[in-house]
């Protein structure tokens, strides 16, 4: 890897929020485009960092490449995590950094943090059906679909769920 995954720093929150918002907007993942109220949440990295762990992928020169929010079950940012589980959300990679393995590295960092959490047996996530590239990453790393946990945060917005049981050795290949 020619980049590092680490906890996002406060001076990076605005830029990371914009990377996240642009990722969702440019990939057509927000039903109301620039008027989508979820944009405020995507941009507010400071709020997430105050109550969860926000990880950043950073080039050697300090350029932010992407980020993700990692949270334990019961945390205010957990949507689908149950007791004994961790979850990650709002994974986004700057368009200019795509194809370098940044998304996969961020997912692997979340899996590693889950494995380090005492009592954590599984890591889960929600995703839109249109996020096909992300689905390939999850499946390559051993995540399995959990359709019984699919849900709708808003009427008409169906989210798919995936889970990785942590008693399974980590996936190593691409």
pLDDT digits (tens, 9 = 90+) for 164-174: 999 866 666 55
Q: What residue ranges do the domains of the chain occupy?
A: 3-165
Task: List, as one string, the DSSP characters of the chain.
Answer: --EEEEEPPGGGHHHHHHHHHHHHHHTT--TTGGG-THHHHHH-HHHHHHHSEEEEEEETT--EEEEEEEEETTSTT-SS--TTEEEEEEEEE-GGGTTSSHHHHHHHHHHHHHHHSTT--EEEEEE-TT-HHHHHHHHHTT-EE-GGG-EEEETTEEEEEEEEETTSPPP---
Nearest to 162 by CA among 142, 148, 144: 144
What's the pLDDT score for residue 74?
86
Of 1-5, 67-71, 112-116, the range with the lowest mean pLDDT is: 1-5
Nearest to 72 by CA among 38, 122, 109, 108: 122
Domain 3-165, CATH: 3.40.630.30
The pTM score is 0.93
pLDDT digits (tens, 9 = 90+) for 48-91: 999 999 999 999 999 999 999 999 888 999 999 999 999 999 99
């Amino acid at each position: 890897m020619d980049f590092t995954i680490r906890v996002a720093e406060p001076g990076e929150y605005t830029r990371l929020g914009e990377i996240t918002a642009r990722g969702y907007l440019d990939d057509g993942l927000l039903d109301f485009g620039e008027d989508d109220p979820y944009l405020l949440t995507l941009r507010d990295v400071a709020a997430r960092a105050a109550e969860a762990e926000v990880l950043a992928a950073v080039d050697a020169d300090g350029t932010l490449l992407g980020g993700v929010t990692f949270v334990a079950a019961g945390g205010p940012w957990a949507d689908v995590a149950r007791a004994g589980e961790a979850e990650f959300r709002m994974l986004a990679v700057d368009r200019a950094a795509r194809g370098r393995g940044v998304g996969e590295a961020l997912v692997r960092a979340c899996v590693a943090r889950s494995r380090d959490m005492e009592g954590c047996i599984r890591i889960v996530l929600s995703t839109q059906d249109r996020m096909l590239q992300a689905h390939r990453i999850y499946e390559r790393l051993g995540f399995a679909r959990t359709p019984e946990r699919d849900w709708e945060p808003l009427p008409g917005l169906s989210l798919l769920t995936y889970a990785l049981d942590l008693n399974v050795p980590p996936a190593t290949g691409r």
